A and B are shown apart, each in its own frame.
Chain A
Amino acid sequence: MDPAPADRTEPARRHRLTVRSLDPDPRAAGIAAAAAHLGLTLPRPDAVAIADIVFVEGELTATDLGSLHGLLADPLLQTATWDVPARPGVEVTFLPGVTDTAAASVIHGAAQLGVRITGAATGRRVELGAGVDDVLVDEIVRRVVANPVIERWSTGTVEPVFHPDSVRVGKAEVVALSGRTLDQLMVIGHERKLALDPEELLVVQAHFADAGREPTDVELETLAQTWSEHCAHKTFRARISADDGVERPSLLAMLRACTEELASPFVKSAFVGNAGIVHFRDDADGRPVTIALKAETHNHPSAVEPFGGANTGVGGVIRDVLGIAHAPIAVTDILCFGPPDTPVDDVPTGALHPLRIREGVIDGVADYGNKIGLPTVAGAILYDPAYTTNPLVFAGCIGQATGWQQHAGPYPGDRVVVLGGRTGRDGIRGATFSSLTMDATTGEVAGASVQIGDPVVEKLLIDVLVGAEHLFTAITDCGAGGLSSAIGEMAEGVGADVELDRVPLKYAGLEPWEIWLSEAQERMVIAVPPALIDELQARCDLYGVELADVGRFTGDGRLVVRSSGEPVVDLDTHFLHDGRPQRRLDATMPTPRRGDDAATGRTVGDAGATLLALLAHRNIASKAGTIHRYDHEILGATLVRPIVGRERDAPGDGVVLAAPTDTEGIAVGIGVNPWYGLHDPDAMAQVAVDEAIRNVVAVGADPDRVALLDNFSWGDPKRPSTLGELVAAVEGCVAAANAFRAPFVSGKDSLNNEYTGSDGQRHAVPPTLVITAVAHVPDADRCVQPVLHAAGNVLVLVGRTAPEFAGSHLDMVAGEPAEPGVAPQPDPDAPERYRRLHRAILDGLVRSCHDVSEGGLAVALAELCIAGRLGAEVTALPHADLATSLFAESAGRLVVEVAPGDVDTFGAAMGGDSFVLGTVTDTPALALPGVAPIDVGSLVAAFNREGLDG
Chain B
Amino acid sequence: MTGVPALVIAGPGTNRDRDLALALAMAGADPSIVLADQLVADPTLLRDARIVAVAGGFSYGDALGAGNMLALDLRVGVGEALAEYVATGRPMIGICNGFQVLTEAGLLPGALQKNRGLKFLCTTVALRVESTASVLTSEATVGDVLRVPINHFEGNYTCAPDTLSALQANDQIVLRYVDNPNGSIDDIAGICSEGRNVVGLMPHPERAISDLLGSADGVPLLRSLLASASAAAAA
A102 within 8 A of B: yes
B64 touches A631 (CB 8 A): no
A460 touches B22 (CB 8 A): no
B149 within 8 A of A: yes
B213 touches A637 (CB 8 A): yes
Q: Which chain A residue lies CB-closest to B59?
A: A456
B16 touches A628 (CB 8 A): no
The residue from A74, A460, A543 contacting B111, defined by CB atoms under 8 A apart: A74
Residues of A contacting B158 in the complex (Cβ-Cβ under 8 angstroms): 76-77
A456 touches B210 (CB 8 A): no
The residue from A109, A113, A627, A634 contacting B15, defined by CB atoms under 8 A apart: A634
Q: How far is the CA of A658 from the CA of B213 in the complex (A)?
A: 8
Residues of A contacting B151 in the complex (Cβ-Cβ under 8 angstroms): 370, 631, 633-634
A632 within 8 A of B: yes
Q: Which of A510-543 contact B (CB under 8 A)?
A: 542-543
Residues of A contacting B22 in the complex (Cβ-Cβ under 8 angstroms): 636, 660-661
A124 within 8 A of B: no
The segment from A23-31, A218-226, A738-746, A867-875 found at the interface with B is A23-31
Rounded to whole Å, the gap between the CB of B191 and the closest CB of chain A is 14
Q: Which of A783-834 contact B (CB under 8 A)?
A: none
User: What is the 8 Å Cβ interface bit string for chain B, positions 27-54, against chain A (1 contact, 0 not)?
Assistant: 0000000010110000000000000000
A636 touches B15 (CB 8 A): no
Q: Which of B216-235 contact A (CB under 8 A)?
A: none
Rounded to whole Å, the gap between the CB of A921 and the closest CB of chain B is 27
Q: Which of A97-139 contact B (CB under 8 A)?
A: 101-102, 104-106, 108-109, 112-113
Q: Which of A58-83 contact B (CB under 8 A)?
A: 71-72, 74, 76-77
A543 touches B15 (CB 8 A): no
Rounded to whole Å, the gap between the CB of B33 and the closest CB of chain A is 10
The residue from A456, A625, A628, A641 contacting B58, defined by CB atoms under 8 A apart: A456
Tell whether A630 pairs with B15 under 8 Å between CB atoms, given A106-B64, A109-B64: no
B69 touches A109 (CB 8 A): yes
B121 within 8 A of A: yes
The residue from B13, B18, B104 contacting A371, defined by CB atoms under 8 A apart: B13
B111 touches A109 (CB 8 A): no
**Most B Cβ at <10 Å: residue of A106, A108, A630:** A108
B69 touches A108 (CB 8 A): yes
A635 within 8 A of B: yes
A230 within 8 A of B: no
Residues of B contacting A636 in the complex (Cβ-Cβ under 8 angstroms): 19, 22-23, 206-207, 209, 213
Residues of B contacting A108 in the complex (Cβ-Cβ under 8 angstroms): 60, 69
A23 touches B113 (CB 8 A): yes
Rounded to whole Å, the gap between the CB of B180 and the closest CB of chain A is 15
The residue from A21, A456, A780 contacting B12, defined by CB atoms under 8 A apart: A456
Q: Which chain A residue lies CB-closest to B65?
A: A74
Residues of B contacting A109 in the complex (Cβ-Cβ under 8 angstroms): 64, 68-69, 72
Tell whether A660 pairs with B69 under 8 Å between CB atoms, given A76-B159, A544-B12, A634-B19: no
Residues of A contacting B212 in the complex (Cβ-Cβ under 8 angstroms): 639, 658, 660, 780-781
Residues of A contacting B12 in the complex (Cβ-Cβ under 8 angstroms): 456, 459-460, 543-544
Residues of A contacting B19 in the complex (Cβ-Cβ under 8 angstroms): 634-636
Rounded to whole Å, the gap between the CB of B57 and the closest CB of chain A is 6
A302 within 8 A of B: no
Q: Which of A616-668 contact B (CB under 8 A)?
A: 625, 627-639, 641, 648, 658, 660-661
Query: How many residues of chain A are within 8 Å of chain B by beta carbon?
Result: 53
Rounded to whole Å, the gap between the CB of A848 and the closest CB of chain B is 16
A863 within 8 A of B: no
Rounded to whole Å, the gap between the CB of B20 and the closest CB of chain A is 9
User: What is the 8 Å Cβ interface bit string for chain B, positions 95-127, against chain A (1 contact, 0 not)?
Assistant: 000000000100000110110011111111000
Q: Which of B137-162 contact A (CB under 8 A)?
A: 149, 151, 153, 158-160
Tell whether A542 pairs with B58 under 8 Å between CB atoms, given A113-B76, A630-B122, A660-B22: no
Residues of A contacting B194 in the complex (Cβ-Cβ under 8 angstroms): none
A699 within 8 A of B: no
Residues of A contacting B15 in the complex (Cβ-Cβ under 8 angstroms): 371-373, 459, 634
A77 touches B111 (CB 8 A): yes
Residues of B contacting A634 in the complex (Cβ-Cβ under 8 angstroms): 15-16, 19, 151
B169 within 8 A of A: no
B171 within 8 A of A: no
Rounded to whole Å, the gap between the CB of A589 and the closest CB of chain B is 45
A543 touches B35 (CB 8 A): yes
Q: Which chain A residue lies CB-closest to B183?
A: A23
Q: How far is the CA of A271 from the CA of B123 in the complex (A)?
A: 37
Residues of A contacting B117 in the complex (Cβ-Cβ under 8 angstroms): 26
**Most B Cβ at <10 Å: residue of A21, A372, A636:** A636
Q: How far is the CA of A223 from the CA of B15 in the complex (A)?
A: 39
Q: How far is the CA of A108 from the CA of B76 in the complex (A)?
A: 12
B178 within 8 A of A: no
B3 within 8 A of A: no
Q: List 15 A-B contacts (CB under 8 A).
A: A30-B118, A74-B111, A76-B158, A105-B63, A112-B72, A370-B120, A456-B12, A459-B12, A543-B35, A544-B12, A634-B16, A638-B213, A648-B124, A660-B22, A660-B209
Q: Assuming A101-B61, A455-B58, A636-B209, what are 6 further A-B pairs, CB within 8 angstroms?
A: A26-B118, A30-B118, A71-B72, A72-B64, A77-B158, A108-B60
What residues make up the interface of A, taking CB atoms closer than 8 Å to B? Answer: 21, 23, 26-27, 30, 71-72, 74, 76-77, 101-102, 104-106, 108-109, 112-113, 366, 370-373, 454-456, 459-460, 542-544, 625, 627-639, 641, 648, 658, 660-661, 780-781
Q: Give me the 6 closest cross-chain CB pairs, A-B, nearest first.
A: A373-B15, A105-B63, A456-B13, A26-B118, A76-B111, A456-B61
